[in-house]
Amino acid sequence: MALALGTLLARSVVAGASMGGLLAADVHHVLEHGLDVVMAGLVIAAVWYARSVADDPAGGDGA
């Protein structure tokens, strides 16, 4: 989840760079949508992992 939240910070940096004229509009668009995909994947992975650990009586350590 920390990595997913980190992508929110990265999106803010990309937006600021775009507003400051450091990024072209097309680069800004691709980066923000790319970060959206990464964020969604990380959230899905975190939920999947949390549910698999909750179903494991050993607590997810494999022992």
Write out pLDDT tens, residues 12-48.
Answer: 999 999 999 999 999 999 999 999 999 999 999 999 9
Residue 5 pLDDT? 92
Mean pLDDT for all residues in the chain: 89
Q: Find the helix or strand (DSSP H, E) in which 3 lies.
A: helix 2-19
- Angle (nearest 5°) at CA 19 between 17 and 20: 60
Domain boundaries, the chain: 2-55
Residue 7 pLDDT? 95
For the chain, how many residues are written?
63
Q: How confident is the model at residue 1 (pLDDT cuts 50, 70, 90)?
A: confident
Give dist(CA 1, CA 39) in Å, integer: 9
Cut 0.85: pTM above it = no
- For residue 38 the two structure tokens come to 């990464």
